[in-house]
Chain A
């Protein structure tokens, strides 16, 4: 612990212009004070923010948590032969159910396609509105927000928490800490507990979990996810984003000069001053930033946004909210910190520095009556549409449409055929040649069907099916169980005088007479050269 930290913990408030409180906040992870990597973590005590972005984040939190916790409980009627859980990953039977879609393992490319779409979607979002994934929807962000809600409710806001943390261990501190961690653990257990319901019938499983009769893997999963949620959300927080997560690096590479990022507009903020009126009276330049440190105090990542764009910044926009409210109180325009593109920022800094010829002069961005100069650049929605985003949108839509087309036209009846290789053929007593096949019928709908299996080609040949007590023929009606693979051992026999060569091809055709769905498989028929 060095002096900075103790200074950080000291609580002092100055009243500035009688409207804005100044916070003694120092950015833990600021560029200036950045520690070598081998250093203990400094705790961050984010202050509560309020404003439109904070409201949006509450909304996103409610929606994402709602989706996560409630999805397994949605029901979807698929008839008597399939589970009625709307979203279910049935690993034991190797089926994945998603509302009206049922996926067999060999159709996993739909999931792969969705993941590719998610990746490209992330590129698109990042290149337009920056690290929105990190700031709003990432589970790490959402759960840390949730854990912070608990922390604030129990220990109070920033100053109270810092005081408690620096103070000695008293009964009160012990009670507060124990209750905070207990609630965190309950949330973590609920998080881990919700996960397992995606893999089994939720109403059944919840009973089993609480009566101790669920499978060991359920308890192991709950324990592991409880531990990770508690550790990541409660204890590690911003360190997960800064040190563990690869996304910040990847997402930063997706940004360009037209991507919106949370930016401190120093072209109007600098030179910052805590005593604007005095400085102004002394005839010196003064910018809009009153150095109240509110942006630092609310930052969950412990950075000072005024140092510029940084790796740690998850663009949660809470500094925008808090700075806007300060600007509002001071009667100045909002947007000292704002979502801005690098190109707009560069244009405006050029205005403020008269083309880079001097330090920032905030009077250059304003007209004589104090309003902003019309030479300033503003974000326009037009900038979202540029070749790069068109490519992303195009690729994203193309994959999406291809998946949709494939999904709507996919066959729910398939046939696969394996030709016996040992022996390849058998000569029978009347000289005719017999080949054996394993025919796999895939009835991929959750209802029983009667599938007609027929031969096409191979003149004179007839087939018989092991276990089906019918005379040999060229077509059989096979009852297929719902949502199952039916394996048939089929013998095809061709009279010797109709054998044409040592290899002939023919087709197995399967058809559901009710839905007219059909599939074909081209198989070979082998015969010895001596077939008479």
Chain B
């Protein structure tokens, strides 16, 4: 700096820069600002001692307070679990019917079961539990294995046709394509379709009824209302797992498809399964 420029009006030296005749006064920083700045430095030193900060070769300094964000999360999760503990204990000790009858407990189980459903069940049954062809709709009132809360719990616990669970629900409709003729299949399909009001070739209905009585009534019942003990579906209602109409019915008579549902007890445990059962039961079709 060759010469210091002093501002005439204020008598304060300037920074020496000039922009179109405008100069900047070389005022000191405000004292409060400088003080605050030094305080932040002191604070920073204290902080790096108290908290994990300095990077080392394999990890960082731990800090004298022993804080870690992992522990923080762990504590928060533990607190959340503790907050739920009262309800979880009640769910453990009560039957699903008792849970469903208790307003507060049902609300908890429906929320918890809904969360478990969205993780474990939506892949097959859909996010609204509405199912799809081959995967039952859990909102309706048609149940292959029973719609009481305990029956639903049993189904979730042991699964359906799940080979590795000895208590799994099993039913297997024979492939009638090898047992009866194609004509008989057409007849019985038309007859079964007519039971729920779907109109087909009326002349096939009577022979179809005979075929049904000989081959199907053993499991589906003489009135075709099905049998939940055997997992035999009701053929007189409006709900068709593999589609309505004579063609879809004929395909299922000829070579039936058999869906498989895993047993969930091993993966989810009894409490979660109970919550799921209460949730499914609350969807509107529960008996």
Query: Which A residues form the contact surface with B (CB < 8 A)?
Result: 36, 38, 420-423, 426-431, 434, 436, 466-467, 489, 491, 496, 532
Contacts and interface: CB of A to CB of B under 8 A. Distances in A.
Contact of B103 (A423, A467, A532): A467
B6 interface: no
A434 B103 contact: no
Contact of B139 (A426, A430, A496): A426
Given A467-B106, A532-B238, A426 B284 contact: yes
Contacts, number: 54
A426 B130 CA distance: 8
24 contacts: A38-B27, A420-B128, A422-B128, A422-B130, A423-B137, A423-B139, A426-B130, A426-B137, A427-B238, A428-B285, A429-B140, A429-B141, A429-B237, A429-B239, A431-B196, A434-B139, A434-B140, A436-B139, A436-B284, A466-B282, A467-B106, A491-B284, A532-B197, A532-B238
Contacts of B130: 422-423, 426
A467 to B, nearest CB: 6
The 3 closest A-B pairs by CB, nearest first: A422-B128, A429-B237, A431-B238
Interface in B211-255: 234, 237-239
B127 interface: yes
Interface residues of B, number: 22
Contacts of B59: none
A423 B196 CA distance: 24
B282 A428 contact: no
Contact of A428 (B103, B106, B128, B142): B142
Contacts of A429: 140-142, 234, 237-239
Given A423-B139, A427-B238, A431-B238, 7 more contacts: A38-B27, A423-B128, A423-B137, A426-B139, A430-B237, A434-B139, A496-B238
Contacts of B27: 38
Contacts of A434: 139-140, 284
B35 interface: no
Contacts of A422: 127-128, 130
Nearest to B106: A467
Contacts of B141: 428-429
B253 to A, nearest CB: 21
Contacts of A36: 10
Given A489-B282, A532-B197, A430 B238 contact: yes
A426 B10 contact: no
Contacts of B10: 36
Nearest to A40: B31
A252 B128 CA distance: 62
A304 to B, nearest CB: 24
A119 B106 CA distance: 50
Contacts of B128: 420-423
A84 to B, nearest CB: 28
A37 to B, nearest CB: 11
Nearest to A464: B284
A38 B11 CA distance: 13
A426 B106 CA distance: 22
Contacts of B197: 431, 532
A428 B140 contact: yes
Nearest to A493: B284
Nearest to A36: B10
A420 B282 CA distance: 14
A429 B137 CA distance: 11
Contacts of A420: 128
B9 to A, nearest CB: 9
Contacts of B237: 429-431
A429 B235 CA distance: 10
A430 B137 CA distance: 15
A277 to B, nearest CB: 42
Interface string B53-75: 00000000000000000000000
Contacts of A467: 103, 106
A532 B238 CA distance: 9
Nearest to A491: B284
Contacts of A428: 140-142, 238-239, 285
B24 to A, nearest CB: 13
Contacts of A491: 284
A521 B139 CA distance: 25
Nearest to B196: A431
Which of A36, A421, A466 has the most chain B CB within a 10 Å cutoff? A466
Nearest to B137: A426
Contacts of A436: 139, 284
A67 B285 CA distance: 59
A436 B267 CA distance: 31
Nearest to B10: A36
A427 B282 contact: no
A429 to B, nearest CB: 4
Given A38-B27, A466-B282, A427 B106 contact: no
Interface in B1-44: 10, 27
Nearest to A435: B284
A219 to B, nearest CB: 22
Interface in B248-287: 282, 284-285
A467 B10 CA distance: 82
Nearest to B28: A38
Contacts of B127: 422
Nearest to B31: A40
A287 to B, nearest CB: 35
A491 B140 CA distance: 11
A426 B140 contact: yes
Contacts of A489: 282
A427 B140 contact: yes
Contacts of B103: 467
